[in-house]
Chains A and B, each alone.
Chain A
């Protein structure tokens, strides 16, 4: 009888030992809470998508810079992705703890505005380096990017969606119901082709290897060689150049233009720190925040820093035409676009 689990398991069952894991737990979870309570400084709570505040995201660079400026405690709360962020706000309603929400995009802002939870930004917006004109009294853009199909440099890409549909090229895309780029592609085809979108999707059906839940799965599949191209951003190849010294990836320029994703932040009307919230939105368009964006979020900064963009951005394609539906248009056509997509791909 070399080893018997019975003493161990009955201990867990009957003795104080079974409390040990729970005690470790309590300690692990209580520590941050105590830490927060010990501080008297005002707290600014910013809800954002998860990847913004991981150690590779902009969060850790931005937090100390803003805290130094405001003498406050900046706390990021991660809430899934952009769509989950809005859903969480709607769940919490008027008594949300959020002072600022950072990471919605123009596919979501119409619905976000309708919640009535947001207040006008009230800041002096500096000239923005966006490829489109931006006027909004509530939502302030902090970065942007073009959706694009990324492929290996030695692959000969199609020049547009019709080309792609006629080609043998295999692509992997994300589901618009669960993924931001997936929804972006839906808008892209709709913005470029309008009522002809169903026809485009029917043509694309046999080029789509599969549809994934999120960006990570799709990009992983592409890197594993499952598809020739993956739906991502024109900026994706910059990551491989900067972090891996790998120049073998590039994005395919499509001649109907590329759909834009503009990521925005806004402050909550019910915030108990309205001044700090406004100050944060102001800070967001200054150099300390904007310089962190290109090499952490891998998106274009809304205000190009004086030092310019990182060298890895030099080789990126710059689409001639930027497509972007207004928030209201985006909301109005969303359900139709989804139906068309589902119908074409469910055959």
Chain B
């Protein structure tokens, strides 16, 4: 399809190439791992139990995250208040934290010995028992609610302000606005958001195990760990990864099938003003929602901050080298993410067969086991190069692939709208190829591109930095140094490193997101 002379044919081809790269990283690495297996792998009852648990908790976590994110995003979309911009930036934070830091932060607030339990104790109540299925969900909602809020908020703010103007002229109240403006937007945005969070939750391991309270909370990734490390059964590890990939792929296509692109309409890019929902009840409700969500998100971050400050003085000088390496990885990974995501988004945005497959391919990168990706890449790289020497580039590449779904989630709706609204005019004007990209698409995609790059860079700075078999302890990234400090009993210094990690991720996030700031008045 790419060889037909049509608008952005080159970009279409680039989109397919990018999708192929992602497939090679996901399916390819799993198949390569499988090819090294000895004997035929079988999945036992415990493996199927792990698969069921994984899919179940991921579905609940994703559903709850999105269900809660909708009212929070709406409240944020229709209110202006001091600190809103800071809160929107902080929304990026939980998601980019290294798992271990997020878990300890959450437990400082919700643990047996946490703040919430202390408050309950004052009231004469027993402490919270966070460990169990509900703990897993709580942690996943903490990690993903902010992301869902950001993605849905993006949808709200992409609604042309003219629509709200018109709605005000027509005397629409909140119910009519919901029906005619918000619901169609949500039908387009929510399925993709849901599936991205679902997929992210399927590869959870340490969070699920720790907060799940034990082996009841065995996820597929843990079963893969067991197969690889405990049994050295590469076939089983790969098979588990492939089953997970297949189920995730089906889920992704189903969810994308639910998405209904809304009829696009242009606007003049004015700042969105809302004339509805100005009554005291609405205002109060929104304020309460925002306060609750902020407290839920900010308290664990505050815990990480308070834990980290004393540790700052005890950090080894080497932490700065690790921070610089992380920064290089983050920037490279951010750029790579955009290089993959933009052509894929443009290919997926065009109404033609295969568009949905390109989008689904992009989502799958988070659904494949990080361990299996590491093993597959190791098998691929080792015959030609020293894996340790390639630790940082491989980390950047894998991080870029892992960030892709979020970048696509941000880019595709905007790309689709741009094509629908301005595509015909651009075609008439003969605006093609580079000129079209430069004059039309890049300016129109500025916000989501900023957000995508911000998220990719921040994510890369944070947790995904530890790829099995590609680590180099003497030249590791910041998350790696943090794990190293913890492993050497230096929990204080590790808390300090976590604070630096949090601060630098947020700074990166803010810097790139700033160009595409949601409240920017163009």
Q: Point out residues on B near A: beta carbons under 8 Å.
A: 36, 46, 100, 103-104, 107-108, 111-113, 131, 205-206, 209-216, 222, 225-226, 228-230, 232, 316, 318, 325, 328-329, 331-332, 335, 338-339, 342, 375, 378-379, 382, 386, 388-393, 396, 434, 438, 442-443, 446, 449-450, 453, 468-469, 471-475, 483-491, 494, 512, 514-516, 522
Contact check, B488 vs A54: say whether CB atoms are below 8 A apart: yes
Interface string of A203-216 (1 = CB under 8 A from B): 00000111111111
Contact check, A9 vs B392: say whether CB atoms are below 8 A apart: no
Contact check, A226 vs B392: say whether CB atoms are below 8 A apart: no
Expressed in whole angstroms, the minimum distance between the Cβ of B56 and any Cβ of chain A is 15
Contact check, B222 vs A177: say whether CB atoms are below 8 A apart: yes
In the assembly, what is the distance between CA of A309 and CA of B266, in Å?
A: 76
Contact check, A91 vs B378: say whether CB atoms are below 8 A apart: yes
Contact check, B226 vs A177: say whether CB atoms are below 8 A apart: yes
Contact check, A53 vs B473: say whether CB atoms are below 8 A apart: yes
Contact check, A226 vs B111: say whether CB atoms are below 8 A apart: yes
A67, CB-defined interface residue at 8 Å: no
Contact check, A88 vs B487: say whether CB atoms are below 8 A apart: no
- Which B residues lie within 8 Å of A209 (CB)? 112, 131, 213
In the assembly, what is the distance between CA of A185 and CA of B16, in Å?
A: 50
**Assuming A177-B229, A224-B111, is B342 touching A13 (CB within 8 A)?**
yes
- Which B residues lie within 8 Å of A33 (CB)? 386, 389
Q: Point out residues on A near B: beta carbons under 8 Å.
A: 1, 3-6, 8-10, 12-14, 18, 21-22, 24-25, 28-30, 32-33, 50-51, 53-57, 59, 76-80, 83-84, 86-88, 90-92, 97, 111, 170, 175-178, 208-217, 219-221, 223-227, 236, 239-240, 243, 298, 338, 341-342, 345-347
Contact check, B379 vs A91: say whether CB atoms are below 8 A apart: yes
In the assembly, what is the distance between CA of A211 and CA of B215, in Å?
A: 7
- Which B residues lie within 8 Å of A215 (CB)? 487
- Which A residues lie within 8 Å of B230 (CB)? 83, 176-177, 338
- Which B residues lie within 8 Å of A8 (CB)? 515
- Which B residues lie within 8 Å of A239 (CB)? 489
- Which A residues lie within 8 Å of B225 (CB)? 177-178
Expressed in whole angstroms, the minimum distance between the Cβ of A34 and any Cβ of chain B is 10
Contact check, B443 vs A220: say whether CB atoms are below 8 A apart: no
Contact check, A29 vs B390: say whether CB atoms are below 8 A apart: yes
Contact check, A226 vs B487: say whether CB atoms are below 8 A apart: no
Contact check, A298 vs B215: say whether CB atoms are below 8 A apart: no
**Assuming A4-B515, A29-B389, A91-B379, is B491 touching A223 (CB within 8 A)?**
yes
Contact check, A212 vs B515: say whether CB atoms are below 8 A apart: no
**Assuming A6-B442, A9-B449, A21-B331, is B209 touching A175 (CB within 8 A)?**
yes
Q: Which 8 A-B pairs have the closest CB atoms?
A: A5-B515, A225-B113, A78-B473, A216-B486, A56-B488, A21-B332, A177-B226, A21-B331
Contact check, A88 vs B104: say whether CB atoms are below 8 A apart: no
- Which A residues lie within 8 Å of B453 (CB)? 9
Contact check, B214 vs A87: say whether CB atoms are below 8 A apart: no
- Which A residues lie within 8 Å of B491 (CB)? 219-220, 223
Expressed in whole angstroms, the minimum distance between the Cβ of A310 and any Cβ of chain B is 15
In the assembly, what is the distance between CA of A170 and CA of B437, in Å?
A: 60
In the assembly, what is the distance between CA of A321 and CA of B353, in Å?
A: 70
> What are 26 contact pairs spanning A and B, CB under 8 A?
A5-B512, A5-B514, A5-B516, A9-B338, A9-B449, A12-B338, A13-B442, A22-B335, A25-B328, A28-B325, A50-B487, A54-B473, A55-B318, A56-B485, A87-B232, A91-B379, A210-B211, A211-B215, A212-B209, A212-B210, A213-B210, A215-B487, A217-B206, A225-B112, A341-B215, A345-B215
In the assembly, what is the distance between CA of A243 and CA of B490, in Å?
A: 9
**Assuming A50-B471, A50-B473, A226-B111, is B515 touching A55 (CB within 8 A)?**
no
- Which B residues lie within 8 Å of A176 (CB)? 230
Contact check, A345 vs B214: say whether CB atoms are below 8 A apart: yes
Question: By DSSP majority rule, is chain A's interface helix, strand, loop, or mixed?
Answer: helix
- Which B residues lie within 8 Å of A223 (CB)? 491
- Which A residues lie within 8 Å of B390 (CB)? 29
In the assembly, what is the distance between CA of A87 and CA of B228, in Å?
A: 7
In the assembly, what is the distance between CA of A170 and CA of B382, in Å?
A: 45
Contact check, A208 vs B484: say whether CB atoms are below 8 A apart: no
In the assembly, what is the distance between CA of A14 and CA of B390, in Å?
A: 26
In the assembly, what is the distance between CA of A208 and CA of B490, in Å?
A: 24
- Which A residues lie within 8 Å of B471 (CB)? 50, 78-80
Interface centre among B36, B396, B474, B494 (most CB of A within 10 A): B474
Partner of A50, one of B206, B442, B484: B484
**Assuming A5-B449, A56-B490, A175-B222, is B214 touching A208 (CB within 8 A)?**
yes
Expressed in whole angstroms, the minimum distance between the Cβ of A111 and any Cβ of chain B is 7
Residue in A closest to B396 when the chains form the complex, CB atoms: A25
- Which A residues lie within 8 Å of B486 (CB)? 216, 219-220
Residue in B closest to A297 when the chains form the complex, CB atoms: B488
- Which B residues lie within 8 Å of A227 (CB)? 112
- Which A residues lie within 8 Å of B468 (CB)? 80, 84
- Which B residues lie within 8 Å of A80 (CB)? 468-469, 471
Expressed in whole angstroms, the minimum distance between the Cβ of A93 and any Cβ of chain B is 10
- Which A residues lie within 8 Å of B331 (CB)? 21, 24
Contact check, B335 vs A346: say whether CB atoms are below 8 A apart: no
Contact check, B489 vs A236: say whether CB atoms are below 8 A apart: yes
In the assembly, what is the distance between CA of A57 and CA of B490, in Å?
A: 12
- Which B residues lie within 8 Å of A97 (CB)? 386
In the assembly, what is the distance between CA of A209 and CA of B114, in Å?
A: 14
- Which B residues lie within 8 Å of A77 (CB)? 388
Contact check, A221 vs B104: say whether CB atoms are below 8 A apart: yes
Contact check, B483 vs A216: say whether CB atoms are below 8 A apart: yes
Contact check, B328 vs A21: say whether CB atoms are below 8 A apart: yes
In the assembly, what is the distance between CA of A22 and CA of B316, in Å?
A: 27
- Which A residues lie within 8 Å of B494 (CB)? 220
- Which A residues lie within 8 Å of B522 (CB)? 1
- Which B residues lie within 8 Å of A178 (CB)? 222, 225-226, 229
Residue in A closest to B482 when the chains form the complex, CB atoms: A216
Expressed in whole angstroms, the minimum distance between the Cβ of A209 and any Cβ of chain B is 6
Expressed in whole angstroms, the minimum distance between the Cβ of B211 and any Cβ of chain A is 7
In the assembly, what is the distance between CA of A4 and CA of B515, in Å?
A: 5
Contact check, B107 vs A9: say whether CB atoms are below 8 A apart: no
In the assembly, what is the distance between CA of A12 and CA of B450, in Å?
A: 12
In the assembly, what is the distance between CA of A152 and CA of B250, in Å?
A: 50
